[in-house]
Structure 1
């Protein structure tokens, strides 16, 4: 959605869509979005960085930056590619469901120039939670909307409620349920029939404009087969992502509970504020994660049994990423979009995610 589009114009154009969805009759008492401040005069190297499943996202975001798009518009248009891709079963449409077979989505975003934030959690029936998070940022005095309230808010703004459970995701869920309890009435599915799940996880995208303005977004379908209502780090400002336009931005994918405990997005940006390069800041945050992990989550050598990755950019356009174990990330450095090796703390593969 263009920054120049007013709330009144947006609502008028979406009226037919809202009526079709059966949204609330009483409109939310929203104020029009505040105008954006002048762009920063800081000269920076434009870049976009994302998780390994975000190669198309960084290309899209960078292309938009070069066309003069706002930095938040750029990163959200980037991650929407994955949200709308039914073949990515960790994000948006086609994401793996919770234990009840229902797809619940989470997302959050921050806009550096205005220092605003928006997020949604446990959102059902809307394919692109990143866009709904942006509406929370632009049109409300709140930061986080969850569950039914988040869905009704999206419907009020013209989004269409849809079934997010694809046939592939449903089959994976049925396989999980069939093997859940040896004493239930479901027949176990042989291991040879087990489906391969793409290990791409959540998607985070952070970008810097040539003027040094920064934004970030993280979106996910969350932990597969989670307890209904579980919310991970992705919609938590300061955990799943964080932006300070004076410093940089950082986001994460992996075990959300371990990230929430250290406020990893915020902590990584604070390490950069102290002068650390993006990659070093990500590594330092991962050390904190290991230090604060419960014994049950560590192996006999004191290493995490899960994986977690942080991605970061600073105001100069420097970028990097680091994982607990070897992995990759996507970045557009101004020349090309490609997958790169992430720095890591430990050499062996993670025992579980």
Structure 2
């Protein structure tokens, strides 16, 4: 026989269980259904369809996630009008285009990268081959070029006329104490040194993740300079259990914070992609001594295992938030982020 005390205790336990179930159900309803497959690029509306659709076509046809990422990364690399990546990229101090790229497969944690690669239009493809065909992770300079040639890549001059003229104007205006004379029309903004990078992050229908970061680096950089883009854990990191992250902007700051790895670990601890990207921006500002000491910018993008996406940046105008773009079965969506420091 059940006495009154036992009944009350059992009823209280049942009530607690029902309460916990209700809370769990409420949390489950708050969490959006997984969006798989998904591809993200670190650019906004202008580039979204051009970059994302080729990779999406690969996934829709049942292709491998690495092929999808590579296909999307090649769009900007092969476009001579884009001065930040691949062909027509921003040259270094000597007027030579040196490219960096990294590739990572979340299923295996395998990764590959190239740095200071010359004369090859698609460094993302070379980085993937380093990952798949060697037991190394990083090849640079002449070694990276020879590796690309051995795998059939055609050597070409990457400096387009548009990029050459931009480099020449930069040289002519760099100092008023040298022998270079600026052009008479002289309409060139020297306060901003252009940078250029693109991140591609993908999640397939099985929940597997992969990513690529590709760049021509900082305009006018010292020959041989390597930024964060080809460094695994800095410009790119992918973990199949958690998510993926990539960075653009001032690479030195991403390098010294292990930026993309930091973002993935923030997501592992429970933060959303946007919150994790913000956490890295806050860390970078803090180690530089606060907002008044920050005269550079970084933008971070991320996706998680559930198909959520986010971005965040350090600086920018209030009316122009940082953007990323994703493509899913529902179509293309522009992801709006925010800034820590309004300019």
TM-score, normalised relative to structure 1: 0.81
> Quick one: which of 85, 88, 95 aligns to 1:101?
95
Q: Distance in 2 between matches of 1:261 and 1:85?
A: 31
Tell me: CA distance 1:190–1:262, structure 2 relative to 1, closer, same or farther (3 Å).
farther
1:223 and 2:218 equivalent?
yes
> Quick one: which of 314, 317, 326 aligns to 1:324?
314
Deviation of 1:195 (Å)? 7.3
Gaps spanning 5+ residues in structure 2: where? 1-33, 316-320
Q: Distance in 1 between matches of 2:314 and 2:193?
A: 19
Show the counterpart of 1:47: 38
1:308 and 2:298 equivalent?
yes
CA RMSD of aligned residues (A): 1.9
Show the counterpart of 2:263: 268
Deviation of 1:344 (Å)? 2.3
Deviation string 1:249-279 (CA, Å, 9 cap, x unpaired) is: 0001111001101011100000011111111
Q: Distance in 1 between matches of 2:75 and 2:188?
A: 27
The correspondence of residues 120-139 of structure 1 with structure 2, limited to 5 A, is: 120-139=114-133
The correspondence of residues 102-181 of structure 1 with structure 2, limited to 5 A, is: 102-181=96-175
Deviation string 1:269-328 (CA, Å, 9 cap, x unpaired) is: 0001111111111101111111122x5xx6xx5362111111111111111111113322
Show the counterpart of 2:340: 345
1:257 and 2:236 equivalent?
no
Give 3-state SS (helix, strand or coil) of 2:182's partner.
coil
> Quick one: which of 195, 198, 207 aligns to 2:202?
207
Q: Distance in 2 between matches of 1:63 and 1:122?
A: 31
Q: Distance in 2 between matches of 1:71 and 1:107?
A: 17
> Quick one: which of 50, 57, 61 aligns to 1:67?
61
Contact 2:195/2:217 (8 A) holds in 1: no
Show the counterpart of 2:80: 86
Give 3-state SS (helix, strand or coil) of 2:256's partner.
helix
Deviation of 1:189 (Å)? 2.9
Tell me: CA distance 1:238–1:194, structure 2 relative to 1, closer, same or farther (3 Å).
same
Q: Distance in 1 between matches of 2:58 and 2:146?
A: 30
Deviation of 1:190 (Å)? 4.8
Contact 1:88/1:198 (8 A) holds in 2: no
Q: Distance in 2 between matches of 1:231 and 1:86?
A: 22
Show the counterpart of 1:184: 178
Deviation of 1:334 (Å)? 3.0
Give 3-state SS (helix, strand or coil) of 1:150's partner.
helix
Number of aligned pairs? 301
1:234 and 2:263 equivalent?
no
Q: Distance in 2 between matches of 1:220 and 1:97?
A: 11
Contact 1:201/1:253 (8 A) holds in 2: yes
Contact 2:86/2:158 (8 A) holds in 1: yes
1:58 and 2:52 equivalent?
yes
Q: Distance in 1 between matches of 2:205 and 2:305?
A: 10
Give 3-state SS (helix, strand or coil) of 2:225's partner.
coil
Q: Distance in 2 between matches of 1:251 and 1:319?
A: 12
